[in-house]
C-alpha cells in the first residue's frame, strides 16, 4: 500500500491540519491568489486564512516539536537535550549508523570467526612456529 504524502497547515493557535499533498497544493494556490483574509471550510472546519502560520512537511513539524521540547540540533546534525553540551565529532560517511548496522547473519558470522580465531591461537600456542629467516624483520636477504 502506497501512503500519500501529508503536509500540515499550522494555525496560529497551534492547531495542525494534516492533509494529502494534492489537497494542500490546491489550498496553497487559493491562498496565493486572495487579496485579503477569507474563511475556508476544510473537512467541516472553518478556518480564517489570516490565522494560517504556514504549510509544512512532516520533517519540519517533527523538528518544531523537538525544539519546543528544548532540544537543539548541533552543527553535526545530532539532536541534544536541553542543557546538554555538544561533544560530537564529524562521522565519516562510511561509518554512519546505517552503514555500520549488521544483520543477524553477519553477527553470527563474526562470532564464528572469533571462535575460529581463538581455536587457532590456542592450537598454535602448543606448536613451535619457525619463521623463515628471509622474512624476518631487518633481513638483508632478497
CA distances to 8, 15, 42, 115, 122 from 119, in Å: 60, 64, 70, 6, 5
4-8, 26-30, 55-59, 94-98: segment of lowest average pLDDT: 94-98
- What nine digits make up the cell of 59? 520533517
0.75 exceeded by the pTM? no
- State residue 98's pLDDT score: 52
- State residue 74's pLDDT score: 87
CA distance linking residue 12 with residue 133, whole number of Å: 82
Residue 130 lies in a domain: no
Cβ density class 79-112: b for 16+ within 10 Å, e for less: ebeeeeeeeeeeeeeeeeeeeeeeeeeeeeeeee
Phi, psi for 102 (deg, rounded to 5): -110, 150
Q: Say yes or no to pLDDT of 142 above 80.
A: no
- State residue 91's pLDDT score: 61
Answer yes or no: are the C-beta atoms of 76 and 88 closer than 8 Å. Answer: yes
Residue 41 lies in a domain: yes
Comparison of pLDDT for 122 and 31, the residue scoring more: 31
Q: Say yes or no to pLDDT of 89 above 80.
A: no
Mean pLDDT of 98-121: 68
Residue 90 lies in a domain: no
Total domain count for the chain? 1
Residue 16 — pLDDT band, cuts 50, 70, 90?
very high
Residue 126 lies in a domain: no
> Could you tell me how many residues make up the chain?
142
Residue 44 lies in a domain: yes
Residue 96 lies in a domain: no
Residue 87 lies in a domain: no
Q: Which domain holds residue 33?
A: 6-80
Residue 106 lies in a domain: no
Q: Say yes or no to pLDDT of 136 above 70.
A: no
Please calculate the CA angle 21-23-27 and round it to the nearest 5 degrees.
110
Q: Say yes or no to pLDDT of 81 above 70.
A: yes
- State residue 140's pLDDT score: 56
Mean pLDDT of 24-36: 92
Amino acid at each position: 500500500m502506497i501512503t500519500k504524502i501529508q503536509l500540515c497547515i499550522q494555525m496560529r493557535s497551534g492547531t495542525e491540519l494534516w492533509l494529502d499533498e494534492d489537497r494542500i497544493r490546491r489550498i496553497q494556490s487559493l491562498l496565493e491568489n486572495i487579496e485579503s483574509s477569507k474563511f475556508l471550510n476544510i473537512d467541516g472546519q472553518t478556518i480564517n486564512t489570516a490565522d494560517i502560520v504556514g504549510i509544512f512537511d512532516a520533517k519540519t513539524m517533527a523538528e518544531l516539536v523537538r525544539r519546543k521540547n528544548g532540544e537543539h540540533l548541533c552543527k553535526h546534525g545530532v539532536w541534544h537535550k536541553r542543557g546538554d553540551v555538544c561533544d560530537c565529532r564529524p562521522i565519516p560517511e562510511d561509518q554512519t549508523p546505517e552503514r555500520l548496522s549488521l544483520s543477524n547473519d553477519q553477527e553470527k558470522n563474526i562470532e564464528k570467526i572469533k571462535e575460529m580465531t581463538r581455536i587457532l591461537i590456542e592450537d598454535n600456542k602448543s606448536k613451535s612456529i619457525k619463521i623463515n629467516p628471509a622474512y624476518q624483520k631487518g633481513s638483508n636477504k632478497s
